[in-house]
C-alpha cells in the first residue's frame, strides 16, 4: 500500500505492508515460525547471499512476519525502510552501529529514559564510543558539543519520564548544518502524534514494547530510515560509503541509495549482532498497531483531564505534562505533536521521597511496573527504580528527582483513575 492513492493513518495502520497470504489466502498476517527458507537452486542462494536479490535466507536476518511489521513502520513514520530488532535498547545500538567507531561520539539530550542514559554513558564505552550529554533546550550548547569526532545527534520526541517535547526542527537544523544524522526516539509519541522525519530526523527508533504493541505482551524495537541522508557526502560514515570487505567491496550507499542504511542494518547489523525480533512478537505488535490511533486518542484525552486535576491538588508541587497551558513546552505542540502531548508525565509531590513511596504503594488501579505505554495505567518512582543507577544530578537532569513519580495514563475511565489517585495522595500524606 505504498503506491497509488494516498491513504489516511487509520487505514495504513491496518493495511500497510500486509497482503493476503499467497499460499492460504489468510487475511491476518501469519506467524512464520521458521528458522530457514528453501532456496530455488544454488544460483538463487548465491544471489541472496551476495545481496543481488532480495528474499529470505535465515530468520536472524529476515522473516515474512517481521517484514510486514518493518514495512508498516516505515510507512507510518514516512521512511523508506525499517529494521526490527529484539528491544528498544537493541534499536538504539542498531542505529548507532553503522555510524560510530572507536573514539567517535554522539551528542545526546540529558532528557532521556534512565536506561538510555546508562547505555550511552557507560555501556557504549566498551565499543570505544562516547556520549556528550547536553540540555537540548540550549541550542548553543548543542552546537558547541559537536566536534570533529561526532557522528550523530540523539534525542527523544517526547522525553521519558517528564513528557518534555523536543524542538525537533531546531535540533534537526543543527545536525544538518554539521553534516550529521539526527536520531529520534519516538517511543512516547508514536507516529500518530509525531513524525520526526517530517521535522528533519534521519533515523527514528522505537521501543515496540510500549504504545505500538500497547498491551504489555512483548519486547521489540525498530529503526526507521528516512532515506534522505547523503552518507557519501563526507568520509565520516565508511560503513555505508566505503567498500564492505564482507561483500566483496560492495558500497552500500552507492548500491542501494536511499535504502543503504536499511540494507546495512539487515545484512551487517542483524547478521553480526543478532538482535533479532521473533515472528510471534512481530505478530502481536502488528495486531496492536491496528488500533494505535484509537488508543492514542484516548490516552491523550485521559492524560489531559488527569494532569489538569493533579495540577490543582494540594499535595502536588508540579506536573510536567506538556499538554497543560502552564507547561513551558506547550507552545511546541502545534508544530511537533499537533494531535496531543501523549500520556506520559511526572508528578512532583510536596512530601518528597517518602511520600512518593507511600503514594505508589497505595494505588489500586495503577500498576506499579517498569513499563509505559500500556492500555493499563502505570506508575513508577523513577529515582528508586529505572533511574536508580544515576547520580542525583543526572536524575534531576533527566526529570526523575527523588520527589518525582512517573505516570503513564492508560485508556480506562478517567474518573476512576482520578479517584484512585486521590485516595493514594491522601494516604501518602506529607
pLDDT confidence band for 305 (50 / 70 / 90):
very high
Q: Which of 172, 204, 244, 230 is nearest to 82 (CA)?
A: 204
Q: What is the pLDDT of residues 362-407, one digit of tens each?
A: 999 999 998 999 999 999 998 887 777 777 887 777 777 889 999 9
> Across the chain, how many H-helices and E-strands are there?
18, 12
Residue 409: is its pLDDT beyond 60? Answer: yes
Give, as one character, the DSSP assignment of residue 201.
-
Residues 33-60 as b/e (b if ≥16 CB within 10 A, e otherwise) read: eeeebebeeeeebebbeebeeeebbebb
Domain ranges of the chain: 11-288, 292-428
Residue 337 has pLDDT above 60, yes or no: yes
What is the CATH architecture assignment of 11-288?
Answer: 3-Layer(aba) Sandwich (3.40)
**Residue pLDDT, tens place only, 119-167:** 999 999 999 999 999 999 999 999 999 999 999 999 999 999 889 999 9
Pick the CATH number of 292-428 from 3.30.1280.10, 3.40.50.2300, 3.90.1150.10, 3.30.360.10: 3.90.1150.10
For residues 329, 321, 76 and 70, what is the CA-based torsion angle, rounded to 10 degrees? 120
Residues making up the chain, counted from first to last: 430
- List, for residues 29-78, the tens digit of each pLDDT value: 999 999 999 999 999 999 999 999 999 999 999 999 999 999 999 999 99
DSSP 265: I
Contact indicator for 100, 106 with CB cutoff of 8 Å: yes
Look at residue 306 and tell me whether its pLDDT is greater than 70: yes
29's grid cell? 498476517
Query: What integer pLDDT is reported at residue 1 of this predicted model?
Result: 52
Site of grid cell 547505555: 119
- The burial of 122, by beta-carbon neighbours within 10 Å (0-12 exposed, 13-18 middle, 19 or more buried), is given as exposed
Q: Which residues of 140-163 are buried (b: 16+ CB within 10 A; e: fewer)?
A: eebeebbeeebbbbbbbbbbbbbb
Amino acid at each position: 500500500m505504498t503506491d497509488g492513492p494516498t491513504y489516511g493513518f487509520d487505514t495504513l495502520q491496518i493495511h500497510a505492508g500486509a497482503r493476503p497470504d499467497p499460499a492460504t489466502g489468510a487475511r491476518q498476517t501469519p506467524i512464520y515460525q521458521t528458522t530457514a527458507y528453501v532456496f530455488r537452486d544454488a544460483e538463487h542462494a548465491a544471489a541472496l547471499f551476495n545481496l543481488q536479490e532480495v528474499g529470505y535466507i535465515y530468520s536472524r536476518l529476515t522473516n515474512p512476519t517481521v517484514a510486514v511489521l518493518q514495512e508498516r513502520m516505515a510507512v507510518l513514520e514516512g521512511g523508506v525502510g525499517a529494521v526490527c530488532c529484539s528491544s528498544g535498547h537493541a534499536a538504539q545500538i542498531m542505529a548507532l552501529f553503522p555510524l560510530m567507531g572507536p573514539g567517535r561520539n554522539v551528542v545526546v539530550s540529558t532528557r532521556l529514559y534512565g536506561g538510555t542514559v546508562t547505555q550511552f554513558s557507560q555501556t557504549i564505552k566498551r565499543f570505544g564510543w562516547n556520549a556528550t550529554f547536553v540540555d537540548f533546550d540550549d541550542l548553543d550548547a548543542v552546537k558547541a558539543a559537536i566536534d570533529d569526532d561526532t557522528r550523530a545527534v540523539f534525542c527523544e520526541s517526547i522525553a521519558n519520564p517528564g513528557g518534555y517535547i523536543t524542538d525537533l526542527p531546531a535540533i534537526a537544523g543543527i545536525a544538518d548544518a554539521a553534516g550529521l544524522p539526527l536520531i529520534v526516539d519516538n517511543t512516547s509519541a508514536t507516529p500518530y502524534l509525531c513524525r520526526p522525519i517530517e521535522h528533519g530526523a534521519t533515523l527514528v527508533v522505537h521501543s515496540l514494547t510500549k504504545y505500538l504493541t500497547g498491551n504489555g505482551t512483548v519486547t521489540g524495537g525498530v529503526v526507521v530510515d528516512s532515506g534522505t541522508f547523503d552518507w557519501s557526502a563526507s568520509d565520516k560514515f565508511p560503513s555505508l560509503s566505503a567498500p564492505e570487505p564482507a561483500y566483496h567491496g560492495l558500497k552500500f550507499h552507492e548500491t542501494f541509495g536511499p535504502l543503504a542504511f536499511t540494507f546495512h542494518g539487515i545484512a551487517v547489523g542483524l547478521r553480526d549482532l543478532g538482535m533479532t525480533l521473533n515472528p510471534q512478537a512481530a505478530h502481536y505488535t502488528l495486531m496492536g498497531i491496528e488500533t494505535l490511533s484509537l488508543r492514542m486518542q484516548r490516552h491523550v484525552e485521559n492524560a489531559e483531564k488527569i494532569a489538569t486535576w493533579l495540577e490543582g491538588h494540594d499535595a502536588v508541587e508540579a506536573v510536567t505534562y506538556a499538554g497543560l497551558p502552564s507547561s513551558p513546552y506547550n507552545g511546541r505542540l502545534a508544530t511537533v505533536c499537533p494531535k496531543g502531548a501523549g500520556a506520559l508525565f511526572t508528578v512532583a509531590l510536596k512530601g518528597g521521597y517518602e511520600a512518593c513511596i507511600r503514594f505508589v504503594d497505595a494505588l489500586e488501579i495503577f500498576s506499579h511496573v517498569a513499563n509505559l505505554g500500556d492500555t493499563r495505567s502505570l506508575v513508577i518512582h523513577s529515582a528508586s527504580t529505572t533511574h536508580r543507577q544515576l547520580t542525583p544530578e543526572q536524575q534531576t537532569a533527566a526529570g526523575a528527582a527523588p520527589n518525582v513519580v512517573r505516570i503513564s495514563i492508560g485508556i480506562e475511565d478517567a474518573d476512576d483513575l482520578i479517584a484512585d489517585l486521590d485516595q493514594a495522595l491522601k494516604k501518602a500524606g506529607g
